[in-house]
Amino acid sequence: MPRLRPLPVLTIRSLILSVLLAAVPGAVSAQSSAAGIPAHASAKSYGNGWVCDRGYREVGGACVAVRLPANAYATDTSYGQGWECRRGYQEVDKRCTAIAVPRNAFLNSSGDWWQCERGYREADSACVAIKVPANGYLTESTFGSGWTCERGHRAVEEACIAVRVPENAHLDYSGADWDCDRPYRKKGDRCFLP
């Protein structure tokens, strides 16, 4: 079995010195970059440089506090004012004012406006009840009348009128009109054999 020779002492010392020299410049550069970061800032997570902390903006190489109006919170963006209004408030003249939510309404999912409850429509900053006629029902639509007629009825102005189905006919796919049975053909309001 071959015998291992010990490394010369000079080689071990050279290796230790190389490791120490490699570690020292990194520590020195880390100290110098930290020294160049202003108050209320931190080093970028990637690349060189620094970025102001949330609630501060860079002005002339320093991080200056963003002035928050009442009912606002600081954002972490480099554009805009550096703040946004809290849920239920909207910006008016650089201030956050409460959103007036009318009766039968609620704040929308983003909290920056309101919408009417089911069964109500917006009209002049209020929510008015949708009048559903007999043989009608509410829809989920935010436009139009807010209601539609049941199958076998059609909308005529503000009412649901029964569809008159003649002999040899049936309600069509929509349920608001009729078609002739086969082999009959439609002529006016009747079904005839061709």
Is the pTM here over 0.85, yes or no?
A: no
Read off the pLDDT of residues 19-58 as tens digits, 9 standing for 90 and up: 454 554 443 333 334 668 999 999 988 878 899 898 898 8
pLDDT attached to residue 72? 96
Q: Do residues 56 and 80 both lie within one domain?
A: yes
- Would residue 136 count as lying in a domain? no
3-state secondary structure of 10: helix
pLDDT attached to residue 13? 61
Q: Do residues 81 and 107 both lie within one domain?
A: no
- Would residue 6 count as lying in a domain? no
CA distance 143 to 102: 19
Q: Are 149 and 159 within 8 A, CB to CB?
A: no
- Would residue 143 count as lying in a domain? no
Q: Do residues 57 and 80 both lie within one domain?
A: yes
- Would residue 103 count as lying in a domain? yes
- Write the DSSP assignment of 15-30 as a string of letters: HHHHHHHHHHHHHHHH
For residue 4, what are the CA distances in angstroms to 15, 27, 129, 148?
19, 37, 96, 94
- Would residue 107 count as lying in a domain? yes
Read off the pLDDT of residues 117-176 as tens digits, 9 standing for 90 and up: 999 999 999 999 999 999 999 998 878 889 999 999 999 999 999 999 999 999 999 999
- Would residue 173 count as lying in a domain? no
Segment 58-73 mean pLDDT: 93
For residues 10 and 163, the model is more confident at 163
Angle among Cα 101, 148, 117 to the nearest 5 degrees reads 15
Query: Exposed, middle or buried, 130 (CB in 10 Å: 0-12/13-18/19+)?
Result: middle
3-state secondary structure of 166: coil
- Would residue 115 count as lying in a domain? yes
| Last-in-domain residue among 129, 151, 184 | 129
The total of structural domains in the chain comes to: 2
Read off the pLDDT of residues 74-130 as tens digits, 9 standing for 90 and up: 988 878 888 999 999 999 999 999 999 999 999 999 999 999 999 999 999 999 999
Query: Exposed, middle or buried, 64 (CB in 10 Å: 0-12/13-18/19+)?
Result: middle
CA nearest to 140, candidates 159, 164, 121:
121
CB atoms within 10 A of CB 127: 20
Instruction: Name the residue range of residue 114's domain.
Output: 99-129
